[in-house]
A and B are shown apart, each in its own frame.
Chain A
Amino acid sequence: MRRLAWLPLLLLAACRPAPLPLVGVLVSGPGRLARVAGLEEGLKAYPERARFQVCQAATKAGLAACARRLEAAGATALVTVGGVETQAAIAATGRVPILFVGLAASLDWGFFPRLDAPGGRVSGVDNGYAELAGKRLEWLVRAWPETRRVLVLYQPEVVPTPRALRNLRRAAAILGVALDLFPASRPQAIAGLAERLGARPPDAALLLPSFVWENHLDRVLATLNAAGVPLVGLNREEVARGAALAYGAGNRDLGRQAAGMLARVLAGYPIGRLPVERPDRPRLTLNRRTWARLGRTPAPRVVDLAEAP
């Protein structure tokens, strides 16, 4: 009987279900991990299953190494949570499909020639943050009609910036708002924000898509709130952290929306035939506590339309 003791183990091994397909996730910082959480949560609504392996790196080289390692591990797909991650994944891998979750100005990155039929091996959900920059300014004006001058916090070298600024300038022209620009390419540059606020205080600050600003948002919010300047953020998560207002798809919502695309990729559909999607649910979110702390009262109709973070 001892000799046959291995038999149940063998049968157990034979009956073990096939391993789930691996989905690798590239993240440049913790600020966008909520998108991955939303993706996992959203995938539960589909019949397809996968195991996720997150690889986080702050630099492009680190992200490329992550992408190579995940492809070598047999990943069925790579999920990226931003433009830098997507760029690194494309450069470092050769065949694996790449699904981005919440990429801003996706067409401007040059990953594909058109949105409705991207072709190749890259597609995903655009967060619309570049296109919604003007709308955020509009909601700010509606919530605080006295707004005359807005400080724009942006990172000049990131791809979505030109499109976002274009939208923003058009909106500012329509709304009659003056824009002050405050670029920051490195985290150290954020330190100059307080001095800038002190020199010429704006009515509000508006954040454009930028991994430098997003990854140091708490410091930025502390500086702005200390100066009594409300921040118009990108999404509800930033409102929850202290921004006064935001209009855009939340990170979790973006993840949930991308889950449908990931399910199709896992089912075997070629990712190049999946159109790039706009966010289905851009939300107006308002943090009443922030407004109260700043000593301001937003317009009641905006408050009625907005959601709490």
Chain B
Amino acid sequence: MSRLEYRFLLAAAAAALLPLMLVWAAGWQLARGAYLEAARARLAGTALALAAQLERRIAAEDAVLKSVCRLAGDDPAWAAEVALAALDELDEIEVNGRLASRFRVVGPGDALPPAPDGSVRDDAWGEPLLRRATGCAGGRVRADLRLRPLLAPVGRVGGGLRARLFGPGGRLLARSGPGGPPGRWLSTRKRLANGWQVEVALPERALLGPLYRANAAMLALLALALFASALPGVRLGRSLARPLGLLARAAGDLEAGRRPPPIPETGPEEARRAIRAFNRMAEAQAARTEALEQAVKARTHELALALAKARAANRAKTRFLAAVSHELRTPLTSIKGYASSLRSPDVDWSEEERREFLAVIEEEADRLARRVDDLLDFARAERGELALVPVPLDAAAWLRAQLPRLRALAAGHPLTLDLDPRLPVLAADPDRLWSLLANLVENAARHTPPGTPIKVWARPAPGGLELGVEDRGPGIPDAEKERVFEPFHRLDDRPGGSGIGLAVARMVVEAHGGRVAIEDAPEGGTRVRVWLPAEGNDADTGGG
């Protein structure tokens, strides 16, 4: 049996006191009824005895009065004295007009006051007197009889009985004593032969006194037992209510999104198990919430980074568009200017000047074409459609052949070409390779002060060759060395360039299976190193 069941058993025992009390109440009613019934029987017996006594006494009085009446003819005074001696309750008697009294001396002319037979009046003491009158051949007798002495024996019955004598019409003729204590009275009446009624009564409080006392004692015991039985019930209620209250408060915390502190285990075992389960659940819920918060935080961070990146890209694209516009507009402006100058009718240009003007127009057109090619290559590379047409290429010969064009690109910068005689043959697309080299040289020339040298070199490297372009410019911070290859990225908003030159360069290198890196040059400035695989070496095994 669990503790909870045990406590419920105690509570049930306490509840059982109620039926016990009901049983006691029913028992009390039954006992009271039986007690009253017995008392009624006793009262009825007493009333019967009293009625018989009264009837006997009335019969005796009648007999005496009739005897006196018979004697009245001889000596009325003597007859009256005999009656007084024979009947203690006789107060005064008048026999043929001669009055005799028990308590006073009768004078001449004294007589009983007129009153009908059977009437009752009070004397000077407040005692009721019954008038009796009878007649016979000898004369007429009238008498006043005291009723109280007749009822005096009732008091000897005991138990606080009260007797009352009622005459015709229910008139109270006599009573045995005072009214008695207030409250309900148990009474019974007995009718006499002459129509009178004798009532014997008993105060219920006095009658049931012992029963009341026993009842009070029993009720006190029941109350005590009820109180004693209530204690386990109270403990049971507390043992259940306290953990339930703690659970409710903790659940409220959970509902409000707060992490409740662990609930102390209390109450019966069942409640403790529930608290343990709740604590585990709250702990797991807290862990899940924490993980979710971490994931959200990480995701938010990622989204913030992506947003920043997108914003940067957008800014780069804006700058790119501005730069591209500038890059495209500059050669177009030169071309339009020289072309307009040539067509001017007001100037007579010399042939040399015309050729020089045309050379500039051609150069700017080439420059414009490269920019457009770069854009197209970048777009293709973005779509993964950058197509190469590799051909066996003698790297040394090809580089030497590009020297004039490179110097033209690096206008304002002395450009030197340092080639190792052992350069391998490459499998490369010459147009893309030129685009790569032109971008590197043009980038070096754009971001270095005018007059600073630019060095292009090439030497064999494991699996291929290494190509380098070095300048004496301000250099690139280490944090930016990787990012300068990102499309539209421009370093510190430096003027010039579209921001896709180095991106196109890396796409071309990677399309050839090579690698590109930027590092600080030994003499200061920036060095871009490109590794390209030799012909027949598809694997990326080169170092650098």
B19 at the interface (CB under 8 A from A): no
- A174 and B155 CA atoms in complex are apart in Å by 40
The 0/1 profile, CB within 8 Å of A marked 1, for residues 200-215 of chain B is 0000001000000000
Question: Which of B27-35, B49-57, B178-186, B379-387 sits within the interface?
Answer: B178-186
The 0/1 profile, CB within 8 Å of A marked 1, for residues 453-479 of chain B is 000000000000000000000000000
From known contacts A128-B103, A137-B105, A275-B126, infer whether A305 and B85 are also in contact, taking CB-CB under 8 Å. Answer: yes
A41 at the interface (CB under 8 A from B): no
Question: Which residues of B143-181 are within 8 A (CB) of A?
Answer: 148-149, 152, 155-156, 158-160, 177-181
Q: A117-B126, A128-B103, A170-B107 are in contact. List 20 more A-B contacts (CB 8 A).
A: A45-B156, A116-B125, A131-B104, A134-B105, A135-B102, A135-B105, A138-B105, A175-B105, A260-B152, A260-B177, A263-B158, A264-B178, A269-B180, A273-B178, A273-B179, A275-B126, A275-B127, A277-B148, A282-B103, A301-B81
B78 at the interface (CB under 8 A from A): yes
Q: Shortest distance in angstroms between B201's beta carbon and chain A's nearest beta carbon?
A: 13
Q: How large is the interface on A (under 10, 10 to 19, 20 to 34, 35 or more residues)?
A: 35 or more
Which one of A171, A270, A301 contacts B105 once the chains associate, using CB atoms below 8 Å? A171
**Subset of 14 A-B contacts with CB under 8 Å:** A114-B126, A115-B126, A134-B104, A135-B103, A167-B104, A174-B105, A174-B106, A174-B108, A264-B155, A267-B206, A269-B178, A275-B125, A301-B78, A305-B81
The 0/1 profile, CB within 8 Å of A marked 1, for residues 119-136 of chain B is 000101111000000000
Total A-B residue pairs with C-beta atoms closer than 8 Å?
Answer: 87
Using a CB–CB cutoff of 8 Å, the interface residues on chain B facing chain A are: 78, 81-82, 85, 88-89, 101-108, 122, 124-127, 148-149, 152, 155-156, 158-160, 177-181, 206
Q: Shortest distance in angstroms between A250's beta carbon and chain B's nearest beta carbon?
A: 13
B residues in contact with A45, CB < 8 Å: 156
State whether A276 touches B125 (Cβ < 8 A): yes
Complex A-B, nearest 3 residue pairs according to Cβ-Cβ distance, in ascending order: A116-B126, A47-B158, A273-B178
Q: Shortest distance in angstroms between B258's beta carbon and chain A's nearest beta carbon?
A: 68
- A47 and B155 CA atoms in complex are apart in Å by 9
State whether A278 touches B103 (Cβ < 8 A): yes
- A135 and B180 CA atoms in complex are apart in Å by 36
A residues in contact with B158, CB < 8 Å: 46-48, 263
State whether B155 touches A280 (Cβ < 8 A): no
A206 at the interface (CB under 8 A from B): no
A51 at the interface (CB under 8 A from B): no
A94 at the interface (CB under 8 A from B): no
From known contacts A116-B126, A260-B155, infer whether A274 and B177 are also in contact, taking CB-CB under 8 Å. Answer: yes
State whether B103 touches A132 (Cβ < 8 A): yes
State whether A269 touches B103 (Cβ < 8 A): no
B residues in contact with A274, CB < 8 Å: 177-178
A216 at the interface (CB under 8 A from B): no
Q: Shortest distance in angstroms between B88's beta carbon and chain A's nearest beta carbon?
A: 5
State whether B105 touches A46 (Cβ < 8 A): no
